[in-house]
Amino acid sequence: MPLWFVIEIKRLYNLRWKHYDLPDTDGSLRTMPRTAAMPPSPLPLGTLPANAVLVEPIHLRLKQARVEAGVTLAQMGLALGVSPQQVLKYERGQNRLCADRLPVWAALCGVSVEELLGDAGRHALTFFAGDGVMSLVQAFTAISDPGVRQALIETARALAIADRQRRERPAAV
């Protein structure tokens, strides 16, 4: 098969090619192209677990913010300490952007972290704005002894179990 034909097929069908070695009839190995197969889904198509939260993927907003700010892939990669190809993977959703790099991305694009996070950021902000969550986190981080921290975690878990059992218990008549 001529090379131009293979290239044209790949271009037309936008196939991603990988190579693997097959033993030939004489025992030597030859490299054969094949298309990449998607891994099987752990859930049947169209089903979601009961606790699933549907949030728009962040990678769509990452690219939009970068393009609107006029920042190139190379500039963003330099600021994040990664290659331009890695930035492209973040924007395509192939790799996840670490949380510590999100403020750098936001600052370079001139937007807030909350704008990049979208709904996910709003959910997190509402949770941390709740009754006593931040004061509990601050008190926990102020404890330096690992034993005391572990005891606090175990106490909180025991209280949560007792509270859940109390709520699930039928009301006395």
> Quick count: other Cβ atoms within 10 Å of Cβ 87?
26
pLDDT, averaged across the chain: 72
- pLDDT value at position 33? 45
Residue of 71, 74, 140 whose CA lies nearest to 108: 71
pLDDT: which is higher, 84 or 36: 84
User: Confidence band (pLDDT; 50, 70, 90) for 36?
Assistant: very low
* Mean pLDDT, residues 129-143 taken together: 78
Cβ atoms < 10 Å from Cβ of 116 = 20
The number of residues in the chain equals: 173
**Is 61:118 a contact under the CB 8 Å cutoff?**
yes
Rounded Cα distance between 136 and 130, Å, is 11
Query: What domains can be seen in the chain, in order of their start residue?
Result: 58-127 (1.10.260.40), 131-162 (no CATH)
Is 79:109 a contact under the CB 8 Å cutoff?
no
* pLDDT of residue 72 exceeding 60: yes
- Is the pTM above the cut of 0.95? no
Q: What is the pLDDT of residues 81-130, one digit of tens each?
A: 999 999 999 998 888 888 888 889 999 999 988 888 876 555 555 655 66
* Higher-scoring residue by pLDDT: 58, 82: 82
What distances in angstroms separate CA 108 from CA 63, 103, 113, 147, one per listed residue?
12, 8, 11, 41
pLDDT band at 3 (very low <50, low <70, confident <90, very high): low
75, 79, 80, 84: CA torsion to nearest 10: 20
Q: Which helix (H) or strand (E) holds 97?
A: none
Confidence at 75, pLDDT banded by 50, 70, 90: very high
Q: Which residue has the higher pLDDT, 143 or 40?
A: 143
Return the axis-axis angle of helices 58-69 and 84-92, rounded to nearest 10°.
Answer: 130
Q: Could you identify the residue written with the tokens 């009839």?
A: 25
